[in-house]
A and B are shown apart, each in its own frame.
Chain A
Amino acid sequence: MAITRSGAHTVELLDKLPREEHLEMYRMMVLIRRFEEMAGKKYMEAVIGGFCHLYIGQEAVCVGIQSVLRPDDYAMGTYREHGQALAAGMDARAIMAELFGKATGVSKGKGGSMHLFDKSRNFMGGDAIVGGHLPIAAGVGLSIKYRAADQVCVCYFGDGAVNEGAFHEALNISGLWKLPVIYVCENNLYGMGTQVTRASAVPDLSRRVSGYGIESAHVDGMDLLAVRNLAEVAVRECRNGNGPYFIEAKTYRYRGHSMADPATYRSKDEVEEWRVRDPINLFERQLLDKGLMKDADVQRISSEVDQLVDECVQFAEESPAPSPDALYEYVYASEEI
């Protein structure tokens, strides 16, 4: 059932969408890129601790998907979720504060880089067990069906997760119960240092769900409009009760697995090949060529985003660390209620 969305649809979308929406998606991709660059910098300065997994290179995937969601839809991601959290509309300053481990962070400094949550945006984390949140996404889908609502739940994960048992249990039950969950596999070719071909018996990951009665498709994850186009189909199908939907977005992370990884397992040439198709450059060119954006817009967005990222850092720096009392806070809800 694999469908490949082609460039033709992309061009249609370029004409169809209002200019402001294009600019907003472009701005979001630039924000994610600059935010991540800053996070990497602050990690090197040892201001951010723990594990820090950057999303650079994959921006088109979450921006394309989130752009077709409603505010009442749900999303959850992995430990590589800064981009998804930003694209879900979460406050960039509070995300940075979370990375800094501050009380003003989205998770009050209790989560860190890998555990960003925002209930007001239905962003459910930030889960750092590979494959572990897929069963949870199925449960969110079940709750939507239980309430006979027409929301969807988007669940982002990597190519490594398809080899976990949790993946298969979750996809089977989602297919069996027709749950409105969009499973978005961001295939960036590597799970840490292991290439997909060394981990998956069938490297064509959209085929890994062929046994579960689930509509699946793959898409060029460097092409924002192609992703958005497929996301629209997936969301429509799920809202109409024809879920779940599996999307394999073929993409690439430019940086190592985490800040601690120099990525010696792949060649510089390979990285360069992917950079040529950089998702931000690609979309920028499309918009400029179509006259939907001018060089002045590019400049303006660039400096606005830089300013916002600087504000994020300033906010995070100036925010207080959690108070010592916070250590025991939020272990049990029964103690707070």
Chain B
Amino acid sequence: MPTMSIKQALNEALREEMRADPDVFIMGEEVAEYQGAYKVTEGLLAEFGSKRVIDTPISEEVIVGAGVGAAMAGLKPVVEMMTINFALLALDQIVNHAAKYYYMSGGQYNIPLVVRAASGVGLQLGAQHSQNFESWFVHVPGLKVVLPATSRDAKGLLKSAIRDPDPVIFLEHELIYLNKSEVPDGDFTVPLGVADVKREGTDVTIITYSRMVLFALKAAERLAKEGISVEVIDLRTLRPLDTRTVIDSVKKTHRAVVAEEDWPMCGMGAELIAQIQQEAFDYLDAPVERVSGVDVPMPYAKNLEKMAVPGEEELYSAVKRVMQGV
């Protein structure tokens, strides 16, 4: 199997879907001539021309809104928000329009739209450029929310998202774009709404997504040496949520750590804990532990930023806490 970066995997997904379906097009700030702020759309303008790879003004609301309109009129737009921070200017289009038309039109207008965005913490980018908003979107019925952690998932999930008849928020962690991993040859997809057990284990389950998956795998490696067997679930899609995989695993291991890079308040971890206690309370041998970003706007200074962002260390100690007394 060839190895490639997440960035390259995303690029291949876009390229293949655009080749396969003339209704697929991409639009956003700097996606064409500049080839993408993170170079995800590299080479697409040259191959598909300016009709299908469209540079827009810096106008997030109309970028997403025009995607909604084009989708209603039969096309399959992929719109890029340069980063998720700027998608807040398009929140009305995402929440009030893209997520609502299918329902309030009584099933007449579905919105096959993908909103892609670089997301997550950066490196010393400060409070406005270093954030996660997946919990905002996950909150909304009508949206699907996808966050890949590996190259294979990035490619397969993006292809599924483009073929999906509903609006999909596709969040690409900006610090792992260049991470390389294996990607199968040929046309494959990874279904939306299906979690992936990235490592099997028997003592405790870490449930997480996006870049935190990589930290979870590292922590699991380290804990294995201490005789603790950690199962790592990569949710991949937060909505629809694959509750089944989570609950089955917790029933097996009897211990769980939920982890997100996002802030803790009303975050994904809170939702996971609620579902676990509802469906697997009697199976738990310890309270569920939560790992998250620190509840402050992101500071600039290197030392403070390091304190604000969760990683391997936080996961390691959380697992040790749920394993206490064993």
On A, residues with C-beta under 8 Å from B are 74, 105-111, 115, 117-119, 124-127, 129, 132-144, 146, 153, 165-166, 169-170, 172-173, 176, 329-334, 336-337
Contact = CB atoms under 8 A, between A and B. Distances in A.
Nearest to B160: A334
Given A138-B69, A331-B103, 18 more contacts: A107-B104, A111-B104, A111-B105, A111-B106, A134-B65, A136-B72, A136-B97, A139-B65, A139-B72, A140-B73, A143-B73, A166-B61, A170-B62, A173-B62, A330-B103, A330-B107, A331-B141, A334-B164
A99 to B, nearest CB: 14
Contacts of B56: 173
B102 interface: yes
A4 B192 CA distance: 54
A131 to B, nearest CB: 9
A332 B102 contact: yes
A32 B194 CA distance: 50
B275 to A, nearest CB: 18
Contacts of A140: 69-70, 72-73
B48 interface: no
Interface in B13-62: 25, 51, 56-57, 59, 61-62
B128 interface: no
A77 B188 CA distance: 41
Contacts of A146: 25, 51, 70, 75
A100 to B, nearest CB: 14
Interface in B81-128: 92-93, 96-97, 101-110, 112
Nearest to A173: B62
Interface-central residue, A115, A166, A169, A337, by most chain B CB under 10 Å: A169
B68 interface: yes
Contact of A107 (B62, B71, B96, B105): B105
B67 interface: yes
Contact of A142 (B69, B103, B104): B69
Given A146-B51, A332-B142, A139 B68 contact: yes
Contacts of A172: 57, 59, 62
Among the interface residues B108, B110, B166, which one has the most CB atoms of the partner chain A within 10 A? B108
Given A110-B103, A331-B142, A337-B165, A124 B109 contact: yes
Best-buried of A119, A137, A173, A332 by chain B (most CB within 10 Å): A332
Contacts of B109: 117, 119, 124-125
B66 interface: yes
29 contacts: A105-B106, A108-B106, A108-B107, A110-B106, A125-B105, A129-B92, A133-B97, A135-B62, A135-B64, A135-B65, A135-B66, A135-B68, A136-B65, A137-B69, A139-B77, A143-B73, A143-B74, A146-B70, A172-B57, A172-B62, A173-B56, A173-B59, A330-B102, A331-B103, A331-B141, A332-B144, A332-B165, A333-B166, A334-B164
Given A140-B69, A142-B69, A336 B107 contact: yes
Nearest to B73: A143
Nearest to A74: B73
A144 B102 CA distance: 21
A119 B73 CA distance: 10
Contacts of B77: 139
Contacts of A136: 65-66, 68-69, 72, 93, 97
A191 B109 CA distance: 29
Given A138-B66, A170-B62, A129 B97 contact: yes
Contacts of A138: 62, 65-66, 69
Contact of B66 (A127, A139, A330, A331): A139
A331 B103 CA distance: 5
Given A135-B62, A140-B70, A169-B61, A117 B103 contact: no
Contacts of A129: 92, 96-97
A139 B73 contact: yes
A93 to B, nearest CB: 15
A85 to B, nearest CB: 12
Contacts of A176: 57
